[in-house]
A and B are shown apart, each in its own frame.
Chain A
Amino acid sequence: MADLKKSQDNTKLIMMLLKGRTLIVLGLLVIFFSLATPNFLSANTMLLLAKHVALYGILAIGMTYVIITGGIDLSVGAVVGLAGMVAGGMIQKGLTFESMGVTVYCSVPLVILAAILVGAVVGLLNGAIITRFGVAPFIATLGTMYIARGFAMLHSNGATYSAITGHEALGNVGFTFFGGRIAGIPVGAIILAVIAVIAGFLLTRTTFGWHIFAIGGNEKAAKLSGVKVDKVKILVYIFSGICAAIVGIITAAQLEASHPASGETWEMNAIAAAVLGGTSMMGGIGTIGGTIVGAFVIGVISDGMVMCGVSEFWQMIIKGLVIIVAVIIDQFQRKMEAKMALQARNESKNE
């Protein structure tokens, strides 16, 4: 009997370690890099890290929503590019209405709104294709990925809008604010924090959030329980699109230029961050907190290795290995949880 108790305590401890594994890995990585490079653990490095992480961190939050419903959104990287181009174009070229022969320059808030709207429209398109026509999310968003990237390229014929600072005379200055800092903290990191808090809150404290979990856990049961599956899914893809558009704005602002190819393959970083953070690719499981930690793990690996002077090519290999190991551990945890549930079930039967 004592043995049984002990083994149960052991299982509990292992489960705790498993659940906190990403945080533990993050801690170990920080310790490792601060020993390896003397400058790593400085305020400056950390702020730079936060600035980098903000970009795919925000993408990963939208991606987490999508993955929890059991889907995937490959179009986010392209939306980063498209939203940046729309914003940059509106500031530099303005909107020309040829029929009236006028060019209108919008104020920065309107520019931001337009860029976000573009992201929302791509998300709506994703959601509609997936729910109305039953296209697999992978394929639907693969398609919109090409379409969005194509439009980004078309916008300037592949050219970059540089120096998008705006002109005082045109009343459209201030865009670069999003690439700057407030009290030393990168604005991108602040936006990440705000979105993370809101997204985490929505996911755990609202009916909408729980419907997302229900759809990913068992879509059929969710539908039969009265969850409006299609509507929730469409909203989730819109949310992901908006997150991507925000990243597009921040990227353009940080560089003070919009490049149509920016954001390429960023969807992969977003997926990786979500998965590292314990989001199940099967759907139904995931947290925003986990995803943020996952994003920081990727950030620390990238920045840390750059500071150590590890080549970019080795970075890729190591990142790949980390992701695979993370998922293997994830599988292990699920098996263990299933075993514990079965055990509890058998015990309750013996009562």
Chain B
Amino acid sequence: MAETVETIHTDDEVVLHAEKVSKIYPGTKALDEVSFDVYKGKVNVLIGENGAGKSTLMKIIAGIEQESGGELFMGGEKVHFDNIVQARAKGIGIIHQELSLFPNLNVYQNIFMAREKTKNRIGLDNEQHIELTKKILARLEHPIDPMTIIGDLRVGQQQMIEIARNLIADDLKILIMDEPTSSLSEQEVQVLFKIMRELMADGISIVYISHRLEEIMQIGDYVTILRDGKFVASAAVKDIDVSWIVKKMVGTKKSYPQRKEKIDWSKRETVLEVRDLCLPKKGGGWLLDHVNFELKRGEILGIYGLMGAGRTEVFECIMGLRPEHTGDILINGQKIDIKNVSEQIQNGFAWVPEDRQREGLVQTMDIGKNISLASLKSYAKGILLDSAKEEAAVDQNIKDIHIKVADKRLPILSLSGGKQQKCVIGKGLLTKPKIMLLDEPSRGIDIGAKTDVFEIMNHYADEGLSLLVVSSELEEIEAIADRIIVLSNGIKTADMVKEEVTQDKLVMASYKGHTKAGREA
């Protein structure tokens, strides 16, 4: 995959340079020899799809994670950070994507956590804390009472506290902002940009990660694009436009298994229909805003969208985890009353959750039990479990979806991520579902296992199983889905059949819900 690396002609000073930095996690390479420059007093944007490695690179620069290979340089001098304290000593601060505040403590306690001012080295100097907090919040144009408990603040206000926390350090050189605007209102975003400009005027460099392309054009100076953990391109923002970014983000095609036959979907019966699905957001607004779609027998329907677009929430509503939702869900034209997960499984749904470790597996149980867990009832005679029947079903399942295991009595954690994922899928299939919901089924597994997973999906779709698949991977969703809907900010912004799908269209639609025009459309 040869990429054109545009050379940037600039007189700006480089304050931090990452040279061929790599990060290897067990089983995956999150970063692969990525080089990255941070220019002094500028907004350095980092962009890429979910899982492209942006956050990993930032965590390495901030000392939260350590590089597996490559080097960091500051002012021509090689640096290495074992922890966040060392990075901070060099003037690097980070604002996390997920807020890392203490909701139980108040504003000034949060700001001065682990850098407390003291009187006579023992007593906390809270007067100074409060005074400095007031000063810094005034500068941020958010005069919040320093005694307010963080949990009582709106998310946007909490974000401001995060920023204040970093500004309290006098010698801040680089401020990393990982999607700082994802939870801010339009007005708050403008305040944030004003603050960023002030910081830049003070010579502070900003590393900015965002999914909102229009923002990047507005505030960015330099942009670097990552894909699959690799460096793709970098350029000065003034030399490029949005479509250039989209093109670079998307990249070239890999090959994935395809459906065998072409099907005339207009003749297929509809098995699932979702009408006006709404899910209120805590504190106002919508996580899902009147979402409509239908699913035919044997169809693979992809749901594309950015993180937080409401994709997982659709599944949660269908599976009965979100009783506060409104709207109708129909199976074979019959409206169903959704009560709980076990009833939905009996209604013919199976769910492969996004977070395999937290939601998919029972780590203390062996491979076989993990596979049979959801369907145990069907192997019972009265209260007695028919082990022979259970084992036969599990063995058949292992054979059907080709999980290579030495012994099904081994602990589930002795399997690789890909095999674990197949077990979770197998568990769902054993309940004999009509409709299967898969949330990021290819996350964190290697390419071979991905292909296997897609083959399983195609195979069962050919046999009449209908599948709903959430994915953030453009190429994958394009390859696997017969039809794709795009969610953006809780709104359905596109619905296209395979022939119409292009990756550019998907990306464009996934940002649409954040713009005013898109919301009104």
Taking Cβ atoms with an 8 Å cutoff, the residues of A that contact B are 202, 205-211, 213-214, 216-218, 220-228, 280, 283-285, 337-338, 340-342, 344-345, 348-349
Complex formed: what's the CA distance from A337 to B362 in Å? Answer: 15
User: Given A214-B373, A348-B416: A284 and B342 within 8 A (CB)?
Assistant: no
Let me know if A220 and B358 touch, CB within 8 A.
yes
Is there an interface contact between A207 and B377, defined as CB atoms closer than 8 Å? yes
Q: List 11 A-B contacts (CB under 8 A).
A: A207-B380, A218-B363, A221-B353, A221-B361, A225-B345, A284-B364, A340-B414, A344-B410, A344-B414, A348-B404, A349-B416
In angstroms, Cα B439 to Cα A223, docked, is 16
**Number of chain B residues close to chain A: CB under 8 A:** 40
A221 interface neighbour in B360, B380, B387, Cβ under 8 Å: B360
| Chain B stretch 6-22: residues in CB contact (< 8 A) with chain A | none
Residue of A nearest to B376 (CB): A207
Answer yes or no: B374 CB below 8 A from chain A CBs: yes
Residue B36 interfacial (CB < 8 Å)? no
Having A208-B383, A210-B376, A348-B406, one finds 9 other A-B pairs with CB under 8 Å, namely A205-B385, A207-B380, A224-B353, A227-B373, A283-B364, A341-B413, A345-B416, A348-B404, A349-B416
B411 at the interface (CB under 8 A from A): yes
Contact B384 A345 (CB under 8 A): no
Q: A206-B385, A207-B383, A345-B416 are in contact. Are A284 and B377 (CB under 8 A)?
A: no
Is B351 an interface residue when CB atoms closer than 8 A count as contact?
Answer: yes
Interface status of B319 (Cβ within 8 A of chain A): yes
Enumerate chain B residues within 8 angstroms of A224, measured Cβ to Cβ: 319, 341, 351, 353, 359-360
Which residues of B are found within 8 Å of A222, using beta-carbon distances? Answer: 362, 373
Contacts of B27 in A (CB 8 A): 349
A218 contact from B358, B411, B415, B431, Cβ within 8 A: B358
In the complex, A340→B406 CA distance in Å? 14
B362→A213 contact, CB < 8 A: yes
Least CB separation from B387: chain A residue: A205
Bound: A163/B416 CA distance, A: 65
Within 8 A of A (CB), among B318-371: 319, 340-342, 344-346, 351, 353, 358-365, 369
Quick check: is B23 within 8 A (CB to CB) of the other chain? Answer: no
Most buried by B among A202, A226, A337: A226
**CB pair A341 B414 closer than 8 Å:** yes
Interface contact A226-B341, CB-CB below 8 Å: yes
Q: Is B227 an interface residue (CB 8 A)?
A: no
B359 A210 Cβ-Cβ under 8 A: no
B211 within 8 A of A: no
Say yes or no: is B427 at the interface (Cβ < 8 Å to chain A): yes
* Contact in complex: B361, A218 (CB < 8 Å): yes
| B413 near A338: Cβ-Cβ < 8 Å | yes
Residues of A within 8 A of B373 (CB): 210, 214, 222, 225, 227
- Cα distance A315–B411 when bound, in Å? 39
CA distance A280 to B359 in the complex (A): 21
With A213-B365, A220-B359 in contact, do A225 and B374 touch (Cβ < 8 Å)? yes
Q: By the criterion CB–CB under 8 Å, are B342 and A228 in contact? A: yes
Is the pair A227, B415 in contact by a Cβ cutoff of 8 Å? no
Distance between Cα atoms of A286 and B364 in the complex (Å)? 10
CB-CB under 8 A from A223, the residues of chain B are 341
B365 contact set on A, CB distance < 8 A: 210, 213-214, 217, 284
Q: How far is the CA of A202 from the CA of B385 in the complex (A)?
A: 9
Question: What are the residues of chain B within 8 A of A340 when measuring CB–CB?
Answer: 414
B373 to chain A, nearest CB (A): 5
Distance between Cα atoms of A216 and B362 in the complex (Å): 9
Bound Cα distance A344, B414 (Å):
5
CA A206 to CA B379, docked complex, whole Å: 10
By a CB distance below 8 angstroms, the chain B residues around A211 are 376
> Does B364 contact A226, Cβ atoms closer than 8 Å?
no
Indicate if the CB atoms of A226 and B342 lie closer than 8 Å.
yes
- Using Cβ atoms and an 8 Å threshold, which residues of chain A touch B411? 337, 341
Contacts of B341 in A (CB 8 A): 223-226
Q: Smallest CB–CB gap between B343 and chain A, Å?
A: 8
Which chain B residue shows the least CB distance to A351?
B404
Nearest CB in chain B: distance from A209 CB, A: 8
Q: A206-B384, A225-B427 in contact; A285/B364 too (CB < 8 A)?
A: yes
Q: Which of A209, A222, A280, A337 has the most CB of B within 10 A?
A: A222
> Which residues in chain B, 408-451, are within 8 Å of chain A measured between CB atoms?
410-411, 413-416, 419, 427, 431
Chain B residue, CB-CB nearest to A338:
B413
**Are B362 and A348 in contact, CB atoms less than 8 angstroms apart?**
no
Residue in A closest to B446 when the chains form the complex, CB atoms: A349
Give the distance in Å from the alpha carbon of A208 to the alpha carbon of B319 in the complex: 22
State whether B359 touches A221 (Cβ < 8 A): yes
Minimum Cβ distance to chain B for residue A283 (Å): 8
Specify which of A216, A220, A227, A228 is in contact with B364 (CB 8 Å cutoff).
Answer: A216
A345 and B374 form a contact (CB under 8 A): no
Residues of B within 8 Å of A218, CB to CB, are 358-359, 361-364
- Please state if A206 and B380 are interface contacts (CB–CB under 8 Å): yes
Give the distance in Å from the alpha carbon of A285 to the alpha carbon of B369 in the complex: 14
**Cβ-defined contact, A207 with B374, below 8 A:** no
Question: In the assembled complex, how far is the CB of residue B381 from the closest CB belonging to chain A, in whole angstroms?
Answer: 10
CB nearest to A210 among chain B residues: B376
Closest 6 CB pairs of A and B: A284-B364, A217-B364, A217-B362, A344-B414, A226-B342, A225-B374
A337 to B413, CA, bound (A): 10
Q: From A217, A226, A345, A349, give the contact of B363 (CB < 8 A).
A: A217
- Per the bound structure, the CA–CA distance linking A58 and B360 in Å amounts to 34
Closest Cβ of chain B to A223, distance in Å, is 6
Question: Beyond A217-B365, A284-B362, is A210–B413 a contact (Cβ under 8 Å)?
Answer: no
A227→B431 CA distance, assembly (Å): 13
- Cα–Cα distance between A316 and B353 once the two chains are bound (Å): 48
Min distance, Cβ A201 to any Cβ of chain B, angstroms = 9
Point out the residues of chain A lying under 8 angstroms from B384, CB to CB: 205-206
Complex Cα distance, B383 from A289, in Å, reads: 21
| CB of A213, distance to nearest CB on chain B (Å) | 6
Shortest Cβ distance from B369 into A: residue = A210
CB-defined contacts of B385 to chain A, threshold 8 Å: 205-207, 209-210
| Neighbouring A residues of B404 by C-beta, 8 Å | 348
Contacts of A210 on B, CB cut-off 8 Å?
A: 365, 369, 373, 376, 385
A329 to B509, CA, bound (A): 56
Partner of A226, one of B374, B406, B410: B374
Q: For residue A284, give the distance in angstroms from its CB to the closest CB of chain B.
A: 3
The residue on B at minimum CB distance from A220 is B359
Task: Report the separation of the CA atoms of residues A341 and B367 in the bound assembly, to the nearest whole angstrom.
Answer: 12
Q: How far is the CA of A112 from the CA of B310 in the complex (A)?
A: 56
Q: Please name all residues of chain A whose beta carbon is closer than 8 Å to the beta carbon of B380 when the two chains form the complex.
A: 206-207
CB proximity of A329 to chain B, nearest CB, Å:
18
Q: List the B side residues contacting A342 at CB < 8 Å.
A: 413-414
Chain B residues with CB below 8 A from A285, complex form: 364
> In the complex the two chains form, what is the Cα distance from A222 to B319 in whole Å?
14
Least distance between A226 CB and chain B CB atoms (Å): 4
Q: Which of A224, A225, A340: most chain B CB closer than 10 A?
A: A225
Q: Please name all residues of chain A whose beta carbon is closer than 8 Å to the beta carbon of B361 when the two chains form the complex.
A: 218, 221
CA–CA, A224 to B383, complex, Å?
A: 22
B431 to chain A, nearest CB (A): 7
In angstroms, Cα B365 to Cα A216, docked, is 10
**B225-253 near A? 1/0 per residue, CB < 8 Å:** 00000000000000000000000000000
A258 to B351, CA, bound (A): 53
Report A-chain residues with C-beta under 8 Å of the C-beta of B416: 345, 348-349
Contact across chains for B413 and A345 when beta carbons are under 8 A apart: yes
Residues of B within 8 A of A202 (CB): 383
Which residues of chain B are within 8 angstroms of A205 by Cβ–Cβ distance?
A: 384-385, 387
Nearest Cβ on chain B to A225's Cβ, whole angstroms: 4
